[in-house]
Chains A and B, each alone.
Chain A
């Protein structure tokens, strides 16, 4: 018995061709269609699509839950960091964080949060917690942000530009050491 008969390979070939035809045709009319392109949308395009907004003043002990995280541009984050009103949270894996991260950022992945809910006790209540991941397209930051909102945090934002956006803005100024309060 031949493991890969020619007839089987021909059948597989036709199924793949059929999937290509149906896939590309359906994508043309899909409301959430994928834009076929050679590269990711440029960071500037991602930042331009973030709506202009004013961050609300939220009291430390406020009990009004926010519905969704705020989306912040690089410049807004820099302003908050300069005023010491924000803490960046790197939502990627520990290994990736140790390799490189935005200066001052702490590591907190969604996995860590699910494993140990008490981990949030070390997070400041009086600062905006800004979650980021690799860059446009990744979703770990958003998942972490929602998880923090469900945990009762009020000042939660996401940095859609992520590490790529920061590198682009700061000419690749990144940090490779962990923060002192991290193990």
Chain B
């Protein structure tokens, strides 16, 4: 009984994570040019990789979200999302250490976008923890 409750909890959590990433991805797909500016503001990547990331990352987020809800490659999707949330954490921490005052580029892509800061870091750690739970649960699930 307890195990079933836990299963439902993980299922709902995975849907929430999936919807979050789909929402984040769609916002960036609508305006990839603006997302490229957001990535470039971090000053971590050469310009070529900035442009490639701006084009590919939003679709990766949407695809992983969709797969997590509907697909058969859930383990792969969860692994990618785990890696992405870790990369986001490194990027935000690095920007904060360098004293950059920039938009996060995490979810909303507008001039009123959310700034980087400790709140974003905490959100990212929570996201990472949630995805790790989902990933471990999917790994244990027999096929």
Residues of A in contact with B (beta carbons under 8 Å apart): 1, 3-5, 7-16, 18-20, 22-24, 26-27, 30, 32-40, 91-96, 109-111, 134, 137-140, 142-143, 146
Contact = CB atoms under 8 A, between A and B. Distances in A.
Contacts, number: 127
A4 B78 CA distance: 11
B59 A11 contact: no
A34 to B, nearest CB: 5
A11 B76 contact: yes
Interface stretch (B5-13, B25-33, B121-129): B25-33
Given A23-B55, A26-B59, 15 more contacts: A8-B76, A12-B77, A13-B76, A15-B64, A16-B60, A30-B32, A32-B33, A32-B34, A33-B33, A34-B51, A39-B47, A40-B40, A94-B101, A139-B34, A140-B101
Contacts of B51: 34-37
Nearest to B52: A36
Interface string B35-58: 011101101001110011011111
Given A19-B56, A34-B32, A111-B115, A137 B48 contact: no
* Chain B: number of interface residues, binned into ranges: 35 or more
A15 to B, nearest CB: 5
Secondary structure type dominating chain A contacts: helix
B101 A93 contact: yes
Contacts of B32: 27, 30, 32-34
B80 interface: yes
The list of the 8 closest CB pairs from A to B, nearest first, reads: A11-B76, A95-B99, A12-B76, A93-B101, A11-B73, A19-B60, A23-B56, A8-B75
A7 B75 contact: yes
A12 B60 CA distance: 10
A11 B82 CA distance: 14
B73 A32 contact: no
A38 B51 CA distance: 9
12 contacts: A1-B140, A11-B75, A15-B63, A15-B73, A19-B57, A19-B59, A32-B30, A35-B51, A93-B101, A95-B100, A96-B100, A143-B111
B123 to A, nearest CB: 18
Contact of B100 (A1, A7, A36, A93): A93
A34 B46 CA distance: 15
B141 to A, nearest CB: 11
B118 to A, nearest CB: 13
B47 A40 contact: yes
Nearest to A40: B47
A137 B59 CA distance: 22
A140 B102 contact: yes
Contacts of B69: none
Interface string B63-93: 1100100000101110110000000000000
